[in-house]
């Protein structure tokens, strides 16, 4: 009987040891180690090392990484990777790599429910389901839910490229904000809009400025009216990156000028202090641009969030220049660029 008990105890101990060994062998490793050991992400691993991000992606996290394969990096124009790996281009490399990382553990079942995701870079990637294929910006997701100890990896077939242009440069390239840029220059605010601190700007188009009474813009651009011009422009700027869904969830947004903006959604028309939202979520390297069809004035009434006269609505389809992303919805009195 004693021998039988000893044999039974020994068997149980053996099973426990074997189970422990199997568990340790099967335990997932951190994101970087998993990527390196897979053998399909040599370029990504080299880029993470050059950018000094290895330790970050080996930390607790969790992180979700949309990982371009070696074949994805090979699709870039000749010399691109070699250029990015140079020390003098480290900041741009960091911007690109962090654009592939989303905070938290976002599994494939959650990804397909999203239309966009904020990255560690600060800019957002667009997500859509296209004929059964999930796309992140223009990249296809080819494998999902690769388990890691500090998050998960989804494999993509293209390298995601965030905007490298700051707010003024993005506006200049759009071609619809000549008056706004001239006003920012006259007000001495170009350097502020080009800075490192993220900003959200509700940008009136040239047509929006043209709606003002005759002579208004010319008057504001005169040096003696500089302070008034500064106040008006700052009334269109909110600190931080505030994307469209966050805008519409907000009761009020405090501007850099100090006044308050009140978003509204009525009968499918999105407005901010009465100005119609024409296009939203245009990424820049230091913030986000939402396009509006009227100039907002920081009067005491608007500072309290009063709404201007309601606007009519029409259907608009806009294309984000950085991502070729079509934004389609009903907005107030929108013009077409």
Could you read off the pLDDT of 114-164 as tens digits, one per residue? 999 999 999 999 999 988 899 999 999 999 999 999 999 999 999 999 999
- Integer Cα distance of 311 and 296 in angstroms: 14
Which domain-ending residue is among 128, 156, 184? 156
pLDDT confidence tier of residue 180, bands split at 50, 70 and 90: very high
**Full domain range(s) for residue 119:** 27-156
- Whether residue 306 lies inside any domain: the answer is yes
pLDDT confidence tier of residue 24, bands split at 50, 70 and 90: very low
- Whether residue 270 lies inside any domain: the answer is yes
Residues 175 and 288 in one domain: yes
Lowest mean pLDDT among 165-179, 195-209, 264-278, 315-329: 315-329
pLDDT at 22: 36
Whether residue 84 has pLDDT greater than 80: yes
- CATH assignment of the domain containing 89: 2.30.180.10
Residues 311 and 221 in one domain: yes
Residues 191 and 311 in one domain: yes
Residues 118 and 197 in one domain: no
DSSP state of 101: E
- For the record, the structure tokens of 38 come out as 């897979």
Residues 134 and 179 in one domain: no
- Whether residue 129 lies inside any domain: the answer is yes
Q: Are 151 and 145 in contact (CB under 8 A)?
A: no
- Whether residue 2 lies inside any domain: the answer is no
Strand 124-130 and strand 116-118: the pairing is antiparallel
Q: Are 139 and 66 in contact (CB under 8 A)?
A: yes
Which domain-ending residue is among 105, 130, 156? 156
More confident residue, 239 or 304: 239
pLDDT at 2: 35
Residues paired with 63 in a beta bridge: 103, 151
- Structural domain count of the chain: 2
Residues 88 and 148 in one domain: yes
Residues 68 and 205 in one domain: no
Whether residue 295 has pLDDT greater than 90: yes
Residues 254 and 148 in one domain: no
Residues 210 and 115 in one domain: no
The CA-based dihedral angle spanning residues 150, 197, 203, 302, taken in that order and rounded to the nearest 10 degrees: 110
- Whether residue 327 lies inside any domain: the answer is yes
Whether residue 71 has pLDDT greater than 70: yes
Global pTM exceeds 0.95? no
- Integer Cα distance of 319 and 332 in angstroms: 17
pLDDT at 300: 57
Number of Cβ atoms within 10 Å of the Cβ of 183: 22
DSSP-derived 3-state class of residue 89:
helix
- Whether residue 145 lies inside any domain: the answer is yes
Which domain-ending residue is among 156, 184, 206? 156
């Amino acid at each position: 009987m004693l021998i039988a008990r000893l044999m039974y105890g020994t068997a149980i101990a053996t099973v426990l040891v074997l189970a422990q060994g199997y568990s340790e062998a099967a335990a997932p490793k951190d994101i970087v180690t998993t990527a390196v050991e897979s053998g399909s992400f040599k370029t990504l691993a080299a880029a993470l090392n050059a950018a000094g991000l290895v330790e970050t992606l080996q930390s607790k996290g969790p992180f979700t990484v949309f990982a371009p394969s070696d074949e994805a990096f090979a699709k870039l124009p000749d010399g691109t990777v070699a250029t990015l790996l140079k020390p003098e281009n480290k900041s741009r490399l960091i911007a690109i790599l962090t654009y592939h990382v989303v905070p938290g553990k976002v599994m494939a079942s959650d990804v397909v429910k999203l239309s966009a995701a904020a990255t560690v870079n600060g800019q957002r990637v667009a997500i859509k389901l296209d004929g059964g294929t999930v796309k992140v910006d223009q990249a296809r997701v080819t494998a999902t839910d690769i388990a890691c100890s500090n998050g998960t990896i989804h494999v993509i077939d293209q390298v995601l490229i965030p905007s490298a242009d700051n707010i003024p440069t993005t506006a200049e390239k759009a071609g619809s904000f000549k008056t706004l840029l001239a006003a920012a220059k006259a007000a001495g605010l170009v350097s502020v809009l080009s800075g490192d601190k993220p900003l959200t700007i509700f940008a009136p188009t040239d047509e929006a400025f043209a709606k003002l009474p005759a002579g208004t813009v010319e008057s504001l651009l005169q040096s003696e009216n500089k302070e008034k011009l500064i106040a008006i422009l700052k009334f269109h700027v909110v600190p931080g990156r505030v994307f469209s869904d966050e805008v519409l969830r907000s009761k009020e947004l405090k501007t850099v000028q100090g006044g308050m903006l009140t978003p509204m959604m009525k009968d499918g028309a999105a407005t901010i202090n009465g100005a119609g939202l024409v296009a939203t979520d245009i990424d820049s390297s230091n913030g986000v641009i939402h396009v509006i069809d009227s100039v907002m004035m920081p009067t005491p009434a608007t500072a309290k969030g009063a709404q201007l006269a309601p606007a009519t609505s029409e259907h608009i389809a806009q294309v984000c220049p950085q991502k070729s992303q079509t934004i389609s919805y009903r907005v107030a009195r929108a013009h077409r660029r």
